[in-house]
Amino acid sequence: MEQDKPLALRLACEIGMPADGLNAIEALPDEAHLSGRKFKRCDYAYTTFDMNFCAAFASEIAAQKRQNRLDEISAPWPKAHRDAFAALEKAEKNYVEAHGGEVYQGGTIRVLRTNGVGERQKDKFLAAVEEFESGHLPRGTETDYKRADSDLNATYKQALALAAKQNFEEDPGAIPANGIQDAERAWLNYRDAWVAFAKIHYPATDPNAWLTLLTQNRIWSLRATMCDVGWGDPACNPR
């Protein structure tokens, strides 16, 4: 669709766009072919509603790009490999959705916060697939996995204990223990789907290597959740 400056100004006024957004449209040249850039509505999202809307819109575009890339990577694989990967993708999607239940839901940007955490998980999944396909596979032994699993169990119990201490009357957006439990169950399915896929697609790699890597990733995720539960902890880092 060609640039229509008068229409853009009219629509911007109708939605109550801030003055700097209107000024940005005014600054565009009248002829579309002379413009060195496109006006982006979401560059001027200042209200919570606008920020949440723009984040959801950006997520849809990013999701399509990620899926196109994953389809491109998996297209040459044998059918059995693609089927196992499809099961992994489904498990990953379920985990991302469940992970949203262990993200702090207080304040007016809760949708934005949850969306951001989910986007980072999806980006990490694609980055991991690309890394493994390039030949950089994980390493780990049974001993490494047992150590990581022990650390995860301790971290999980600690996260549940912190969640149980929250006062939901004072803070309705606090993370409930069942949110953490649901995410953990979804993660276990995600972990198992990864191992099942790797057994077919990367048969030379020790299954303990995948278990170790995935378990360590879950520990980091739970520690981020604990930062949401226990505000003020000096060990907490931004997600």
Mean pLDDT (whole number) for 166-186: 88
Mean pLDDT (whole number) for 200-220: 97
Query: Which CA distances in Å does 100 have to 38, 83, 114, 178, 230?
Result: 33, 26, 6, 12, 17
Would you say 235 and 222 are in contact if contact means Cβ atoms under 8 Å apart? no
What pTM was estimated for this model as a whole? 0.80
Side chain identity at residue 200, one-letter code: I
Mean pLDDT (whole number) for 184-198: 98
Mean pLDDT (whole number) for 162-178: 84
Which pLDDT tens digit goes with each residue over 41-60?
666 666 777 777 777 778 88
Q: Within 10 A of 121 (CB to CB), how many other CB atoms are there?
A: 17
Please report which residue ranges of the chain form alpha helices under DSSP H.
5-14, 19-27, 48-74, 79-99, 110-133, 142-164, 177-201, 207-229
Query: Which CA distances in Å does 221 have to 97, 99, 183?
Result: 14, 9, 10
The encoded tokens of residue 135 equal 């030949």
Region of poorest pLDDT, from 82-96, 199-213, 214-228? 214-228
Mean pLDDT (whole number) for 183-197: 98
pLDDT attached to residue 239 = 41
The CA distance from 134 to 131, in Å, is: 5
End-to-end, the C-alpha distance of the chain in Å comes to 38
In b/e form, how buried is each residue of 25-43, taking b as 16+ CB within 10 angstroms? beebeeeeeeeeeebebee
Region of poorest pLDDT, from 22-26, 66-70, 79-83, 208-212? 22-26
Domain boundary assignment for the chain: 5-41, 48-229
- 135, pLDDT greater than 60: yes
Give the sign of the dihedral formed by CA 88, CA 180, CA 62, CA 211: negative
Query: Which CA distances in Å does 120 have to 81, 153, 183?
Result: 25, 24, 16
Instruction: Measure CA 212 to chain center.
Output: 21
Query: Which CA distances in Å does 25 have to 18, 66, 114?
Result: 11, 31, 31
pLDDT band at 145 (very low <50, low <70, confident <90, very high): very high
Which pLDDT tens digit goes with each residue over 77-96?
999 999 999 999 999 999 99
